[in-house]
Amino acid sequence: MPMNILSRLFGRAEDPREALRPLWHRVVEIAREKRWYADLGVADTVEGRFDMITAVLTLVLLRMEREPELAQASVFLTELFVEDMDGQLRESGVGDVVVGKHMGRLMSALGGRLGVYRTGLSEQDDAGLCETITRNVRLNEDTGPEGMALALRALHSQLAEKTGEQVLAGDI
């Protein structure tokens, strides 16, 4: 109780995004699984890893869309993505002057992927999903999108089976 009063007095309220940090870490952990790169042909490059983070994050955000009460949490999760990507850009040497421009492109990419993955996953066959993967995931030259489509559809199904509480806790 005293900490709560002190927090209010000094304006140091707990960051509501912190509750979503385990979920954000789980998204990154899933996106870094070796199977995406070794078995399914995602290019093991900075761009390929970004593609996988946005693919997994997109599936999580699509799952969260199903429950209106998770809307604010999805905003916080997206903010953690932005915070992390901003830090990554700065670490890689991108200066303050152009970080905003890069972040705008990254957010645009995420928004676009939400739309195309939503559409691709809603179709019965994998043709649209394969096209989405071809356009949005850097695959090695000798790799087609079919295996990736099956794996993303499986992850999408696993997420659909989770409760909202499990998703928020990163139990995916």
**pLDDT per residue as tens digits for the range 142-152:** 999 999 999 99
| Beta carbons of 60 and 158 less than 8 angstroms apart | no
- Considering the domain boundaries, does residue 71 fall inside one? yes
Is 3 inside a domain boundary?
no
Tell me what pLDDT residue 11 has: 60
Supply the range of the domain harboring residue 83: 16-169
Predicted model pTM: 0.84
pLDDT surpasses 90 at 110 = no
Asked, for residue 97, whether it belongs to a domain, the answer is yes
59-74 pLDDT, tens digit per residue, is: 999 999 999 999 999 9
In Å, what is the CA distance from 167 to each residue of 53, 78, 117? Answer: 16, 14, 19
Q: Is residue 9 part of a domain?
A: no
Q: Is the pLDDT of residue 170 over 90?
A: yes
The answer, yes or no, to whether residue 50 has pLDDT greater than 50, is yes
pLDDT of residue 13: 66
Domain assignment of residue 41, yes or no: yes
Structural domain includes residue 135 = yes
In this prediction, residues 117-133 reach a mean pLDDT of 95
Establish if 96 belongs to a structural domain.
yes
HSE (side-chain half, CA atoms, 13 Å) at 144: 6
| Residue linked to tokens 């992390």 | 84
Question: What average pLDDT does this structure show over 95-107?
Answer: 58
Q: Is the pLDDT score of 41 beyond 60?
A: yes
Instruction: Give how many domains the chain has, as a whole number.
Output: 1
- Say whether pLDDT at 97 is over 70: no
Q: Is residue 6 part of a domain?
A: no
pLDDT-derived band at 46, boundaries 50, 70, 90: confident
Average per-residue pLDDT for the chain: 87
CA gap 153, 95 in Å, rounded: 38
